[in-house]
Amino acid sequence: MTNLRNRVQLIGNLGNTPEIKDFEGGKKLAKLSIATNESYRNQKGELVKETQWHNVIAWGKTAKIVEEYLDKGAEVCISGKLTSRSYEDAEGNKKYISEIVMQDLLMLGNRT
């Protein structure tokens, strides 16, 4: 049950080509944005579609797979943990960001 304490699972599409960063010692980081879609009917009976965007990062072997096989529009199923961090922008303002650290990846849809 402790594995469920901070667990996120998403099925969605990549909004852009993943950004890859290589670090000293062979470490690799992949940053990607995943869109999830939801639809429902409002009180008037109209169909409403909503898109949510999720910031996702992957390290190591998972980042290498992302780099080799994923591109904008790819449909994926990911699981990982939700993290938050802060940083200062160029003007010195403190910014906060939440992102999902990917632990598992399943590529869906057709092979390109």
What CATH number is attached to the domain comprising 26?
Answer: 2.40.50.140
pLDDT tens digits along 12-49: 999 999 999 999 998 999 999 999 999 999 999 999 99
pTM: 0.83
Task: Give Cβ neighbours of residue 30 (< 8 Å, ≥ 6 apart).
Answer: 18, 19, 20, 21, 57, 58, 59, 62, 63, 66, 67
| pLDDT on residue 109 | 77
| pLDDT on residue 3 | 66
Task: Indicate the number of domains in the chain.
Answer: 1
Name the token pair of 78.
Answer: 């990911």
Contact criterion met (CB below 8 Å) for 56 and 98? no
In a domain, 95, yes or no: yes
E-only strand ranges, 28-69: 28-41, 47-59
In a domain, 85, yes or no: yes
| pLDDT on residue 38 | 93
Question: What domain range includes position 51?
Answer: 2-107
In a domain, 112, yes or no: no
What is the phi/psi pair of residue 44, to 5°? -85, -5
In a domain, 103, yes or no: yes
Say if residue 112's pLDDT is above 60.
no
pLDDT tens digits along 48-99: 999 999 999 999 999 999 999 999 999 999 999 999 999 999 999 999 999 9
In a domain, 41, yes or no: yes
